[in-house]
Amino acid sequence: MPELPEVQTIVNDLQALTGDTFTGFWTNFSKAVKSKNFEKDLIGQKIKSVRRVSKNIVFELANKNFLVLHLKMTGKLILSDKNIMSLVTGHLSLPKHLHHIFYLKKNGVIEFHDIRKFATLEIVDAKKLFEISKIKGIDPLSENFTLKKFREILENKKNKNIKSVLMDQSLISGIGNIYASEIPYDAKLSPLRKIGSLNKNEISSLHKSILKILKKAIELRGTSFSDYRDVKGSKGSFQDHLKVYKKAGKKCAKCGTIIAKSVVEQRSTFYCPTCQR
DNA sequence: AATCGTTCCTGATAGC
DNA sequence: TGCTATCAGGAACGAT
């Protein structure tokens, strides 16, 4: 599932489309399109910039609006220069999970695939984008995410455990289920620990591990555990560095203890009962 | 006001 | 073999 590192990788690659213009749009699943007049608002618009807002991919358009894409679980963007029009018009069979296509003036098309159809597309104005950014928590890669700021965020969350705080997008935005297991492992803290039980050093470790793991995952172009691919269809490689995620029953590489799994807020959580305290 | 459960959806896997 | 049942999982939404 695309989390902050995966979305950042995609956004970095989409920079290549800056200056290009949307010339058309096709969909066979319009339920995913959340704004009215989507096509009308899109066509003819030049891309001024591409950036990430939490796990959203945001295209700044020339008319001051923003195309906002959220990949949710299985959304995938693929840049392609093949003649997709012939696919849509029935000359060839469409890939099963290709649900939306953006046509560009210079760079071919952006194919938007989505197996589980949770992904969303919308065009919003600056005010709405500001609201979206505001309801999301702090971006852990922004320079504002200092240790001091992190302590402030945790101040009112004493009864929550580490896992749910990392996953709560209204506190810190961008961390999903994979990194919410890998970060506590790196910090040698149990994901089930209550925030209120953490001492100063432990909070500092957690803060360091958030930055370390996310940055490393971006360097490795994300985690291709199952569906995630970059815009060229290539895998990332952080999956080769996972220590606990989806490793229940296997031995911890560091100490040999069997990795445990427990469910926190309906989400699987993995940890080493020996290395993580 | 904060927290909890439900919902969207399909492929993979388990169980019989 | 082939069927059905269960699960994964981001985040909006409704319910408490």
Tell me, yes or no, if the pTM score tops 0.75: yes
Q: Are strands A66-70 and A120-124 parallel, antiparallel or unpaired?
A: antiparallel
Helix A200-219 × helix A179-186 angle, to 10°:
130
- Provide residues 238-277 of A with CB closer than 7 Å to any strand C atom: 246, 263, 266-268
> What's the angle, vertex CA A46, arms to CA A63 and CA A221, rounded to 5?
115
CB A72 within 8 A of CB A118: yes
> Which of the four pLDDT bands, split at 50, 70 and 90, describes residue A20?
very high
A89-113 residues labelled b (16+ CB within 10 A) or e (exposed): eeeeeeeebbbbbbbbeebbbbbbb
Tens-place pLDDT, residues A36-75: 999 999 999 999 999 999 999 999 999 999 999 999 999 9
User: Would residue A3 show up in a list of annotated catalytic residues for this protein?
Assistant: yes
Instruction: Give the distance, in angstroms, between residue A89 CA and nucleotide B3 C1'.
Output: 49
* Average pLDDT, rounded, for chain A: 91
User: What distance in Å separates the CA atoms of residue A163 and residue A185, rounded to the nearest whole number?
Assistant: 11
Closest nucleotide C1' to the C-alpha of A267? C9
| Res A215 pLDDT > 70 | yes
Residues of chain A (170-209) having a beta carbon less than 7 angstroms from strand C: 176-178
Please name the residues in contact with A156: beta carbons below 8 A apart, sequence gap of 6 or more.
none
Whole-angstrom distance, CA of residue A255 vs CA of residue A80: 45
The answer to whether the CB of A179 falls within 8 A of the CB of A213 is: yes
| pLDDT at res. A84 | 61
Question: Could you report how far apart the first and last alpha carbons of chain A are, in Å?
Answer: 27
Listed in sequence order, the residues at least 6 apart from A10 whose beta carbon sits closer than 8 Å to its beta carbon are A2, A57, A71, A77, A230, A231
Closest nt to A55 (CA→C1')?
A: C10
Contact indicator for A277, A266 with CB cutoff of 8 Å: no
Look up residue A224 and give its two tokens: 């291709």
A70 touches strand C (CB under 7 A): yes
> Which residues of A in 86-105 have their CB below 7 Å from strand C's atoms?
none
Q: pLDDT tens digits, residue range A126-182?
A: 999 988 887 788 999 999 999 999 999 998 898 899 999 999 999 999 999 999 999
For A79-104, the pLDDT digits (tens) are: 998 666 655 665 567 888 999 999 99
Q: In what order do the strands lie in the sheet with A120-124?
A: A47-53, A56-61, A66-70, A120-124
- How many Cα atoms within 13 Å fall on the side-chain side of residue A93? 3
The yes-or-no answer on residue A2 being catalytic is yes
pLDDT tens figures, A173-212: 999 999 999 999 999 999 999 999 999 999 999 999 999 9
